Amino acid sequence: MLINDFKLEVFFGKHEFSAPYLLTQSDCESMSITDLLKLEDGSQEKFLNEWLGYTEVPGDPELRNVISKLYTTMKSENIIVHAGAQEPIFNFMNILLEKQDHVITQFPIYQSLFEVANAIECEVSRWNIEQGENGWMMDIDSLESLIQPNTKLIVLNSPNNPTGYTFTEEEIKKIADIARKNNIYVFCDEVYKGVELDGFKRPWFADYYEKGISLGVMSKAYGLAGLRIGWLATRDEELLGKLIKMKHYTSICSSGPSEKLSIIALKNSDMLLQRNTQIIKDNLIIADAFFNKYSSLFKFNRPMAGPVAFIKMNIEMPIAEFCDELVDKQSVLLLPSNIYDMDSQYFRMGFGRINFKESLDQFEKYLIENKYV
Ligand SMILES: Cc1ncc(COP(=O)(O)O)c(C=O)c1O
């Protein structure tokens, strides 16, 4: 398969482990294994005695069970554990799609969610998230106009990376109805689910639609990216069977120690999500003050959910050049919108880290010293 470079991962590969001020990260604050094990009495001893053999291909049975409890209609057998979120995106697209199938993807969106379909030589249409006066918006009715006789799949990412847009329950129902009427699968990447800032938990897409597939992960809302544990949830038995056979060719089974740690984290799901939602909320108060102060330079689109926002910047210089200079001169990392195939001048900011203020102060220092403000 010939596939284009993953622009975001190439960009992070250059800077993520050298720039000290990571002001764009999409994963929430992480924690040590010791702190995670403290969440369950006796777990340290148990963890150290775990056997390091192969694990079951669909995932540890207890892990599949705790994951299924996040949903209203899923049972353990509806869950297949994978390596992070990237493996299941790749595997799912490869089991479902064939050359010349038509795929509709929300746009902007994380690159693999359309690039794997491109590499399979599908026809891909964008369903745009629009910049409105008060933030990002989507016209749900416009989805129907994109549907063609060969449309096989709609790809969503809610909460969305990079805009922070999230569907309401009514919008989810509407999309499911449109998809059902046209017999189209819906793949909903929900890796940022759980850190809703308005306090309303949205339903998982797969709970609403029998041909819906929900993608979840430990990396983002839980802040446990190093575990590399993600999952797909669906009620479609044919897809579940094909996903297992595809996993035989990729990771075979997931990391045993990571599965055990994920079980502990998910048993404490509410607490971990509350902790990270609070970090985001506290950082957003700091961000509000910053963007109010510099309102002529930025249009701040507060995220509806999730740890990232996509912010418009009013400068002459191409945004990619601006972000390159910022990281070179001040060691502050922001992600420019060209990474998302967009011409307009946006950057992605992340609010999930506890050193947010320190990084924002460095950004402000750079803007002042270079006479942008
Ligand atoms: C929307 C979205 N999906 C999937 C992924 C991949 O997640 P992971 O690193 O856990 O594989 C990311 C990572 O940034 C993402 O933003």
Residue 252 shares a structural domain with residue 179: yes
**Angle, CA 67 vertex, CA 63 and CA 69 arms, to 5°:** 120
Q: Do 196 and 322 sit in the same domain of this protein?
A: no
- Note the pLDDT of residue 352: 98
CA of 48 to the centre of ligand 1 (A): 29
Whether 152 and 90 share a structural domain? yes
Q: Which of 89, 158, 220, 255 to mutate to test the pocket of ligand 1 (most atoms within 8 A of CB)?
A: 220
pLDDT of residue 16: 84
pLDDT at 1: 85
Do residues 335 and 226 share a domain?
Answer: no
Q: Beta-strand (E) ranges in 53-150?
A: 79-83, 102-107, 123-128, 130-132, 135-137
**How many angstroms does the Cα of residue 215 sit away from the middle of ligand 1?**
10
CA contacts within 13 A on the Cβ side of 38: 6
CB half-sphere exposure, 222, CA atoms < 13 A: 26
Looking at 268, 283, 310, which one is the last position of a domain? Answer: 268
CA 144/CA 141 separation, integer angstroms: 6
The pick from 109, 161, 310 for probing ligand 1's pocket by mutation, whose C-beta has the most ligand atoms within 8 angstroms, reads 161
Protein residues whose CB sits closer than 6 Å to any atom of ligand 1: 26, 84-86, 110, 157, 161, 189, 191, 217, 219, 225, 230
- Whether 121 and 23 share a structural domain: no
On whether both 261 and 280 belong to a single domain, the answer is no
- For residues 68 and 176, membership in a common domain is answered with yes
Give 370 Cα–ligand 1 centroid separation in angstroms: 34
Which CATH number do you get for residue 258?
3.40.640.10
User: Do 261 and 233 sit in the same domain of this protein?
Assistant: yes
220 three-class SS: coil
Task: Tell me which residue has its CA closest to atom 14 in ligand 1.
Answer: 26
Q: Which atom of ligand 1 is nearest to the CA of 27?
A: 14
Domain count, the chain: 2
Residue 333 lies in a domain: yes
Q: Do 261 and 228 meet the contact criterion of CB atoms below 8 Å apart?
A: no
Average pLDDT per 10 consecutive residues for the chain, totaling 373 residues: 94 91 97 98 96 97 98 98 98 98 98 98 98 94 97 98 96 97 98 93 94 98 98 98 98 98 98 97 98 97 96 96 97 98 96 98 98 94
Instruction: Indicate whether 40 belongs to any domain.
Output: no
**Would you say residue 38 lies in a domain?**
no
Q: Is residue 278 classed as helix, strand or coil in its secondary structure?
A: helix
CB-CB contact of 231 with 80 (8 Å):
yes
Residue 43 within a domain: no
If you search the block for the tokens 């048993």, which residue do you land on? Answer: 267
Q: Residue 294 burial (CB < 10 Å; 0-12/13-18/19+)? A: middle
The amino acid present at 85, given as its one-letter code, is A
Parent domain of 188: 52-268
User: Are residues 138 and 170 both part of a single domain?
Assistant: yes
Same domain, 231 and 355: no
Output the pLDDT for position 188. 98
From atom 4 of ligand 1, which residue's Cα is the shortest distance away?
85
Nearest CA to ligand 1 atom 5: 85
> Which two three-digit tokens encode residue 346?
């946006």
Q: 219 alpha carbon to ligand 1 midpoint, in Å? A: 8
How far apart, in whole angstroms, are the C-alpha atoms of residue 24 and residue 273?
20
Among the atoms of ligand 1, which is closest to the Cα of residue 220?
10
- Tell which atom from ligand 1 comes closest to the C-alpha of 110: 1
Last residue of a domain, one of 242, 268, 294: 268
User: Distance (Å, rounded) from C-alpha 187 to C-alpha 41?
Assistant: 37
Helix (H, G, I), strand (E, B) or coil at 168: coil
Shared-domain flag, residues 93 and 148? yes
Ligand 1 centroid from CA 108, angstroms: 14
87 C-alpha to ligand 1 centroid (Å): 10
Q: State the Cα–Cα distance between residues 284 and 136, nearest whole angstrom.
A: 17
Nearest CA to ligand 1 atom 2: 110
Ligand 1 mutation pick, 12, 16, 87, 110, max ligand atoms within 8 A of CB: 110
Ligand 1 atom closest to residue 83's alpha carbon, by position in its atom list: 11
Closest approach atom of ligand 1 to CA 89: 4
Per the structure block, which two tokens stand in for 345? 């001048």
Choose one of 6, 81, 187, 219 to mutate for the ligand 1 pocket test, by most ligand atoms within 8 angstroms of C-beta.
Answer: 219
Q: Are residues 186 and 326 in the same domain?
A: no
Residue 59 lies in a domain: yes
